[in-house]
Amino acid sequence: MKAIDIVVPIYNAYEFTEECIKSIIKNTDLKVNSLLLINDKSPDEKILPMLQKYKKENEELNIEVLNNEENIGFVRTVNKGMKYSENDVVLLNSDTEVTKDWLEKIQKCAYSNEYIATVTPLTNNGTIASVPNFGIDNELPKNMTLEEYAEMIEKISKNRYPELTTGNGFCLYIKREVINQIGVFDEKTFGKGYGEENDFCYRALDNGYSNVLCDNTFIYHKGTQSFKKENLTSSRQELIENHMRLLREKHPIYVEKTDQFLAINPLKDIQENINININIFGKKRILYLVNEWEENMQMTGGTSLHIKDLILENNIKNIASFVLAPDKGDLSKFKLFLYTQDFAKEILNFKTDIFQYGQIHYTNNSYKEMLKTIFKTFKFDILHVHHFLFQTFDAIDVAKENNIYSIITLHDLYMSCPSINMVYRDKFCDYDKEKDCAKCLKARYGLNSNALFTWRKVCEKVLKKFDKIIVPSENTRKQFEKVYKNLNIDVVEHGVDIIKIKDKEKEKEKKNTFDIAFVGAMAIHKGSNILRKLIKESKNPRIKIHLFGKSEDKVLQKNTSNYINHGPYKRGELPKLLNENNIDLVCMFATWPETYSYTLTESYMAKIPVLTFDIGAVGDRVKQDKLGYIIKFEDSNKILEKIEEIIKNEEEYKEIKTNFEKYKFKTMEEMQEYYQKMYNEISQKNEYANMYQIFVCKDKSEALEFNFYKANYTHLINRYETMRKSKFWEIAKKVKRKIKHK
């Protein structure tokens, strides 16, 4: 590191100046570098003794004090300092406070390219270098100290050192070779101040050099009150306008480019990044990966609805929730969203275009680099994957590299088969003895290979990397355990807000029809073909068929004498709609083993029996809860016959209806309690791990070894801690104490 001379021109402002000097001594190696304090004949007689005191108290440090015999003004004072020095210089206002490692970082930036002339750090009050808001005076964040703020900015910086048209004089690093080549500030033209650093930077541009922003360093600038518009005298205002005119005459091209810079603001990403991190400072941070997402969280898919529920609770618990999702299913575009107590927004800085070549995607370099940037920028505590569809498996590897706790919730069968629902020729492939996986994958993805074996081998490897695997039903756990061995899977049922509906039994007794309803988005894997067949074959005038939900099938969009399409509905509306339309039976005939089903739960809220297949979580729930009827999956051609049977057997129907009074819903609060407890425990473990690394793993090899064990054995630690909290553990401890006592 070359020696640097820090030049501080001083005129009054006793308290500001003292704070500036203290911060320099604290945060700068003044045995290598030098501090040059120049008193420009300050009327405040306490200034010079104060400067001399700091020099005397720190004799081992390179501190020099110069005292102008007369007031010569800012520009001439600065030039005096640059001429006094023979090294690179930093011109630093006396109303600033520097932060940890500031000088090393700025010098590293300066020498990242030999043609850099000047470097300006970030500040709260420095026009184009101002953060978090551009071009204005910003207050320091109320939720952190100056040291914490500067450290945060350093940690989240992309270190891209963007070019500026001009530096800013509050803190300006200048290379000695540039001073030697183009001279010092133009004191003849700009002697009374304002515009002198712009002129210098423009002259540097004339000579092929560049001016850059050190975007990993923050210097606090209090700002001189005399330059604020409301405090400007007419003579000062006239001086500024005159110097601006001189700049335009001398450097018309560069002034125009500076105006364009201010209008376009190419530093938006830096400012947005800092603004976001101010908002999430001190909060736990969770990144959710999902296959679809709307910024306003008005989703219809069960996976997205579940994440929305988690996010709303996170907001209450002061957790920052990030969501990474493909842009409307586009494989080449990804969007990042942030939700906190204070705002919900898309982070435009991370709207990314990625091109993928293969039909099945295990990895993608561009996507992985995007993830690394996001992880570095926001320092997540937890990665919670809810779907890998349209994304790659790189996320778990990036999480491991960053020692981030990882969770995956399996909402469907995608991690077992890329067909997602394992539907072959319109039905669950486990029931098709003639299934042809190669043919199915070719039809779905255009693959000319049977990639299922490779897919499952890779997915098993990926799943075992996660610290925790969650499924919403016991049936889903069984489905995955049939394919993969030795997976530790937790079953956590989705919670719901209970909607109470007044039963209209008396009205139903008076009506002559038996109304059955199909609910939800009606696609083939949800039973649209079964619905079509039922409408066509039903000849019983008592049976009236309804659809509550959207369908792409044109046949199902038209009403007939025995069928009514009510169209799509919003979440929470279904119980009321079923009740208002006097529905007697809900039919749910998904042709694959669904993993949960919000529509089943909402049908329960309307206290309406359900008819479904004997597969998946829906079949298991209806059978276990005794709130409906089960028909074998192989007997799909007997559905109409089963409905006729239900109509006739009134006693059985009434008995099922009474079971609703005993049914207990899994509430949103119960589900949230599980997740919030888990999130809190994870965060505490992360904090302990970080403390261990700071205080124990001082040696790099020890830290690497610790990271290896943390990444590979966290799941064992989790199982051990779970066992310790069990009743068995308490009994074992009591027995041990008794044996020891004997």
CA distance 540 to 113: 84
CA distance 579 to 637: 28
Segment 528-561, tens digit of pLDDT: 999 999 999 999 999 999 999 999 889 999 999 9
Last residue in a domain, options 611, 644, 662: 662
Question: Tokens 């409905």 identify what position?
Answer: 643
The confidence score (pLDDT) of residue 228 equals: 44
Sign of CA dihedral 224, 230, 233, 237: positive
CB 303 within 8 A of CB 323: no
Segment 286-295, tens digit of pLDDT: 999 999 898 8
Helices (H), 449-527: 452-463, 474-483, 505-510
Question: What domain range is 318 assigned to?
Answer: 277-485
pLDDT tier for residue 457 given thresholds of 50, 70 and 90 = very high
CB 172 within 8 A of CB 197: yes
Alpha-carbon dihedral 99, 100, 103, 104, rounded to 10 degrees = -160
Name residues whose C-beta falls within 8 Å of residue 65's C-beta, 6 or more positions apart in sequence: 37, 38, 39, 48, 51, 52, 55
Q: Is residue 670 part of a domain?
A: no
CA distance 672 to 311: 10
What number is the average pLDDT over the span 134-157? Answer: 92
pLDDT tier for residue 685 given thresholds of 50, 70 and 90 = low
The confidence score (pLDDT) of residue 230 equals: 42
The confidence score (pLDDT) of residue 700 equals: 47
Q: Is residue 680 part of a domain?
A: no
Kindly tell me if the per-residue pLDDT of 53 is higher than 70: yes
The confidence score (pLDDT) of residue 210 equals: 97
CB 633 within 8 A of CB 531: no
Segment 98-138, tens digit of pLDDT: 999 999 999 999 999 999 999 999 999 999 999 999 988 99
Q: Is residue 497 part of a domain?
A: no
The answer to whether residues 509 and 657 belong to one domain is: yes
CB 462 within 8 A of CB 443: no
Q: CB-based burial of residue 709 (10 Å sphere; 0-12 exposed, 13-18 middle, 19+ buried)?
A: exposed
Strand 382-385 versus strand 34-39 pairing type: unpaired
DSSP structural state of residue 402: T
Helices (H), 628-699: 639-648, 650-659, 668-695
The CATH number of whichever domain residue 605 belongs to comes to 3.40.50.2000
| Sequence letter at residue 405 | Y
| Helices 727-741 and 700-724: angle between axes, nearest 10 degrees | 90
Kindly tell me if the per-residue pLDDT of 297 is higher than 70: yes
Pick from 388, 385, 390: nearest CA to 404: 385
The answer to whether residues 261 and 283 belong to one domain is: no
- Whole-number Cα distances in Å, 559 to 407, 524, 548, 666: 45, 19, 12, 36
CA distance 625 to 129: 63
Kindly tell me if the per-residue pLDDT of 714 is higher than 70: no
Kindly tell me if the per-residue pLDDT of 27 is higher than 50: yes
The confidence score (pLDDT) of residue 320 equals: 94
DSSP structural state of residue 140: P
CB 429 within 8 A of CB 422: yes
Kindly tell me if the per-residue pLDDT of 97 is higher than 60: yes
Q: Is residue 15 part of a domain?
A: yes
The answer to whether residues 345 and 463 belong to one domain is: yes
The answer to whether residues 416 and 525 belong to one domain is: no
pLDDT tier for residue 738 given thresholds of 50, 70 and 90 = low
The rounded Cα 235 to chain-centroid distance in angstroms is 51
The answer to whether residues 35 and 45 belong to one domain is: yes
Kindly tell me if the per-residue pLDDT of 718 is higher than 90: no
Name residues whose C-beta falls within 8 Å of residue 174's C-beta, 6 or more positions apart in sequence: 82, 88, 89, 90, 91, 117, 118, 200
Last residue in a domain, options 226, 257, 276: 276
Last residue in a domain, options 636, 662, 688: 662
Would you tell me how many other CB atoms lie within 10 Å of the CB of residue 523? 18
The confidence score (pLDDT) of residue 427 equals: 78
- Range 176-184 contact pairs with CB under 8 angstroms and sequence separation of 24 or more: 176/85, 176/86, 176/87, 176/88, 176/89, 178/117, 178/118, 178/204, 178/207, 178/209, 179/82, 179/89, 181/207, 182/206, 182/207, 184/78, 184/79, 184/82, 184/83
Pick from 593, 362, 383: nearest CA to 457: 362
Q: What is the count of structural domains for the chain?
A: 4
pLDDT tier for residue 726 given thresholds of 50, 70 and 90 = low
What number is the average pLDDT over the span 412-437? Answer: 85
The confidence score (pLDDT) of residue 179 equals: 98
The answer to whether residues 220 and 254 belong to one domain is: yes
Tokens of 441: 């994958």
The answer to whether residues 63 and 124 belong to one domain is: yes
CA distance 82 to 7: 8
Name residues whose C-beta falls within 8 Å of residue 163's C-beta, 6 or more positions apart in sequence: 210, 211, 212, 213
Tokens of 246: 């001189």
The confidence score (pLDDT) of residue 190 equals: 83
The confidence score (pLDDT) of residue 705 equals: 52
- In total, the chain counts a number of residues equal to 742
pTM score, whole prediction = 0.79
Mean pLDDT computed over every residue of the chain: 88
CB 214 within 8 A of CB 101: no
Q: Is residue 500 part of a domain?
A: no
Cα-based angle 134, 136, 139 (whole degrees, multiple of 5) = 105
Would you tell me how many other CB atoms lie within 10 Å of the CB of residue 199? 20
The answer to whether residues 606 and 709 belong to one domain is: no
The confidence score (pLDDT) of residue 442 equals: 87
Pick from 611, 597, 596: nearest CA to 641: 611
The CATH number of whichever domain residue 295 belongs to comes to 3.40.50
Name residues whose C-beta falls within 8 Å of residue 87's C-beta, 6 or more positions apart in sequence: 2, 3, 4, 5, 34, 176
CA distance 144 to 150: 10
Would you tell me how many other CB atoms lie within 10 Å of the CB of residue 402? 16
The answer to whether residues 286 and 268 belong to one domain is: no
CA distance 150 to 470: 39
Higher pLDDT, 46 or 737: 46
Q: Is residue 675 part of a domain?
A: no
Pick from 497, 720, 484, 476: nearest CA to 619: 476
The confidence score (pLDDT) of residue 725 equals: 57
Pick from 613, 530, 552, 607: nearest CA to 574: 607
Kindly tell me if the per-residue pLDDT of 740 is higher than 80: no
Segment 657-675, tens digit of pLDDT: 999 999 999 999 999 999 9
Tokens of 261: 């810079």
The confidence score (pLDDT) of residue 611 equals: 98
Q: Is residue 674 part of a domain?
A: no
CB 270 within 8 A of CB 215: yes
Alpha-carbon dihedral 212, 215, 219, 223, rounded to 10 degrees = 60
What number is the average pLDDT over the span 52-79? Answer: 96
Segment 346-363, tens digit of pLDDT: 887 677 777 777 778 899
Percent of the chain with pLDDT over 90: 66
Give the helix, strand, coil percentages of the chain, each rounded to 5: 45, 20, 35
CA distance 706 to 709: 5
CB 408 within 8 A of CB 469: yes
Pick from 285, 91, 96, 142: nearest CA to 132: 142
Higher pLDDT, 655 or 302: 655
The answer to whether residues 189 and 258 belong to one domain is: yes
Segment 214-242, tens digit of pLDDT: 999 999 999 753 344 444 466 677 878 88
What number is the average pLDDT over the span 596-603? Answer: 94
Percent of the chain with pLDDT over 70: 89
Q: Is residue 313 part of a domain?
A: yes
The answer to whether residues 287 and 430 belong to one domain is: yes
Preceding omega of 132 cis (within 30 degrees of 0):
yes
Kindly tell me if the per-residue pLDDT of 702 is higher than 70: no
Q: CB-based burial of residue 553 (10 Å sphere; 0-12 exposed, 13-18 middle, 19+ buried)?
A: middle
The confidence score (pLDDT) of residue 227 equals: 42
HSE-CB for 369 with a 13 A CA cutoff:
8
Segment 500-530, tens digit of pLDDT: 887 666 666 678 899 999 999 998 889 999 9
| Helices 616-625 and 598-605: angle between axes, nearest 10 degrees | 30
Kindly tell me if the per-residue pLDDT of 717 is higher than 60: no
Coil, strand or helix at 544: strand
| Sequence letter at residue 545 | I
Helices (H) and strands (E) in the chain, counts: 27, 26
The answer to whether residues 272 and 282 belong to one domain is: no
